Structure 1
Amino acid sequence: MLTLGDLNRATLARQHLLDRHKGDVADVVHRLVGLQAQEPRPPYLGVWSRLAGFARDDLHAALHARTLVRATMWRATLHLVTAADFAVFRPVVAPMLAAAARRFEGIDFDAVVAAADRLLAAGPMTFNELRPRLLEEFPGGYDRALGYAVRMLTPLIMVPTEDRWSFPRESAFGLPGIDLEPAGVETLIERYLAAFGPATPADVQTWSGLRGLKRIMSGMDLERLTDFTGRELYDLPDAPRPGGDVPAPVRFLPDFDTLILGHADRTRVLAEEYKGLVATKNLRIKAVYLVDGFAAGTWQIKRTGKRAKLLISPFTSTSPDLLEEEGLRLLAFAEPDAAPSLEVVDGS
């Protein structure tokens, strides 16, 4: 039987949050099957928390070389993934994305996709640029629905720039120039378990947005485990499960981090009583820090002139001394030209 601590440490080990991975940036993104990238900065901080010796320019260069891409993937949201994973898994999530597009009625989806392919063949565009062009093709249409259909149905990547976090607030999308070669759903499940397991089919479905996975997983050659609540979990036979007594260092995770979003049941890292302090009503997932492997509070950086302050909002009493070393390292990465400080504040 797996205890809560066992589940926590197994997942942290696979997420490289017990020991930072020693390798390159593409390798760690591959191992995580991507990082959520709704905003430009969080993937940088997510990689920083997991990769030893990581420098900002490493990710910036990988994006410009298209070794890594930022694209609509899991749960129909933007993710940072390797170009290789985009090629094999974008077709796997295509039915889920098509179902999302069908929330709008009265659209000739095939015609919209063909028009978008033709328009974007001339060069990348922001959606504020693309939507008026689509309206010229489909007079009387709803521009937001047309844009959403393109985002869901057309494999696109965001075009990196020389901005600090590689993308401006309003980014251009372009055709990827990557040949799509679909993998099997079983491959996706195995990759998920390698990064997030042990897990239930509901966990995989919550993370990916795909449905009907219980039947597939029950037919795979996976190890069956039981947790402290009696649930059946699936896992890879040789995946690391270091045990709940293994020490876990303080780690700072960014907004929308994949660890917080990776399971239907988040209690392996986020206690139920704190869930409302992390997930906001407008669907934002706040940045959290981990103490002894579990989310112990939220954080944000406040920059004023040449000073950067790390504001800590603990769920329970937390000693600033416990957080200072890693917190100052975070500030040195995120705001390298600012004088750093740390402050504990009330509320989350």
Structure 2
Amino acid sequence: MTKTTTSAARVLSTRELNRATLDRQLLLRRSAVSARDAVEHLLGLQAQNVKPPYFALAARIDRFAPEELSALMASREVVRIVTMRSTIHTHTADDCLTLRPLVQPARDRELNNFRDGLAGVDLDRLAELSRELVEAQPRTMKQLREALLTEWPEADPRALAVAARCKLPLVQVTPRGLWRQSGQVVLTTAEKWLGRLTEPSPKLSAVLEQGGTPIAPDATVLRYLAAFGPASVRDMQTWAGLTRLRDAFERLRPQLVTFRDEHGTELFDLPDAPRPAPDTPAPPRFLPEFDNLLLSHADRTRVVRAEHKGRSWKANQAFCTLLVDGFLAGVWRLEESRDGAAATLTIQPFDALTRVQRDEVAAEGERMLKAMTEASSYDIRFGTVVA
């Protein structure tokens, strides 16, 4: 853990970090920004499943309608692609073409996990062939690996498909990801999908042609701090799934301010970024599984108290989470009837809620149900507190 060497640096309490992060995550108060601008400001939305990006925006945007994000996906202004932490994110088209190359070194390292299954495989040839295949016609991972197996029949099929995903910026084409529409994962390249095949992004081309040479992350550091700061170098490395970002922070140090957390870790921030008072009210919020608020810092105590660590996960399954007073306070589940006419929201708090908190949580739950379901009747239930 990096310690600050400047004794004058102000110490930010956990609650101060909590309120600053919530403010930048649009969770202290709902924003009037568009869905596109929110996706851009937040540097993308975790999207392992189809619904989480929609619920993430519903918690952050005033009067958000799921159809707004769905329309952006249909018009290719936002896309679904593997980026940070080797997970699927919903990004704007522009961020797809800059953030995906930024994390290319991590995708190259990921390939090391599959080297045994790729013995004898020419990865440059695999990338070239995979590009030809998915640009001729979008393909599922199954179709892609079956086609690659004809070239390398002795290779591990899954390793071949993963290698294609690591070597190329593959986006999931619609209808996958559209609101209340079904569609399996079908892939093509970002350039093809975004109409930039003949004039590919210079940044993207540079990375692909130079064998994964990383793009200088300085601009992304500033954007990360705007969305997740104040933060340490390790925090951003955790968010991006990258290493060796210290140099970028040091280059930017003259234009940044620094603090310490209660453990002495040095935190960087933008000089004019909001840092609300620790007693600023933080209303309840219902967040989807895999929300980046809970995944984008090495030290997550700013939103997850020590006694609740690990309670939003079970094995490899993440639960939808509830914030009360800005901190993780429970999990929730939404069930809709087959015809969509009825919805039940079940809330499992980790600790007993006060009457005021319970009423506020119920009101926020009712708001979410009205915005995110078509139910004409709904039920909000509170489970028994389980220690």
TM-score range, shorter chain: over 0.9
Name which of 312, 316, 319 aligns with 1:286. Answer: 319
Q: 1:312 to 1:94 in 2, by over 3 A?
A: same
Is 1:252 aligned with 2:286? yes
Q: Unaligned stretches of 5+ in structure 2?
A: 1-10, 204-214
Provide the residue aligned with 2:142 in structure 1: 128
1:180 to 198, 201, 215: 201
Would you say the 8 A contact 2:64–2:371 is kept in 1?
A: no
Aligned equivalents of 1:185 and 1:35: distance in 2?
19
Residue 167 of structure 1: how far off its partner (Å): 6.1
Q: What TM-score comes out, normalization by structure 1 length? A: 0.95
Identity between Structure 1 and Structure 2 (%): 38
The equivalences for 1:125-164 within 5 A come to 125-161=139-175
* Corresponding residue SS for 1:113: helix
Change (3 A) 1:12 1:24: same
CA offset digits 1:200-235 (Å, max 9, x no partner): 111101110110112331232321111222221111
Residues 67-120 of structure 1: CA distance to partner in whole angstroms, max 9, x if unpaired? 111101101110001111111221111111111122112232111111100111
* Number of residue-to-residue matches in the alignment: 347
Deviates more, 1:106-115 or 1:201-210: 106-115
Distance 1:167 1:158, change over 3 A: farther
C-alpha distance in 1 between matches for 2:158 and 2:240: 24
- Counterpart of 1:223 in structure 2 is 257
The alignment's TM-score, normalised by the length of structure 2, stands at 0.86
Aligned partners of 2:251 and 2:113: how far apart in 1?
A: 32
Correspondence list, 1:1-348, <5 A: 1-105=11-115, 106=119, 107-161=121-175, 165=179, 168=182, 170-177=184-191, 178=196, 179-182=200-203, 184-221=216-253, 222-282=256-316, 284-305=317-338, 306-318=341-353, 319=355, 320-346=358-384, 347=386
CA shift digits 1:124-175 (9 cap, x unpaired): 1111221111111211211100011111111111111187636636311112
- Structure 1: distance between partners of 2:324 and 2:347: 13
TM-aligned CA distance change 1:168 to 1:142, over 3 Å:
farther
RMSD over aligned Cα, in angstroms?
A: 1.7
* Larger Rg, first or second structure (1 or 2): 2
AA at the equivalent of 1:248? A
Given that residues 159 and 167 in structure 1 are in contact (C-alpha distance below 8 angstroms), is that contact kept between their aligned partners in structure 2? Answer: no
> For residues 272 and 48 of structure 1, what CA distance do their matches in structure 2 show?
27
Deviates more, 1:37-46 or 1:115-124: 115-124
Whole-angstrom distance in 1 between the partners of 2:19 and 2:181: 34
Inter-partner Cα distance in structure 2 for 1:133 and 1:250: 49
> Aligned-pair distance for 1:20?
1.2
Alignment CA distance shift 1:169-1:203 (3 Å): farther
Q: CA shift at 1:288, angstroms?
A: 0.8
Gaps of 5+ in 1: none
- The structure 1 segments of at least 4 consecutive aligned residues displaced by more than 4 Å after TM superposition are none
CA distance in 2, matches of 1:167, 1:337: 17
| 1:186 CA drift (Å) | 0.8
Alpha-carbon distance in 2 for matches of 1:169, 1:82: 20
Whether contact under 8 Å (1:160, 1:167) holds in the other structure is no
Contact kept, 8 Å, 1:88 with 1:181, in 2: the verdict is no
Cα separation, 2, equivalents of 1:163 and 1:236: 34
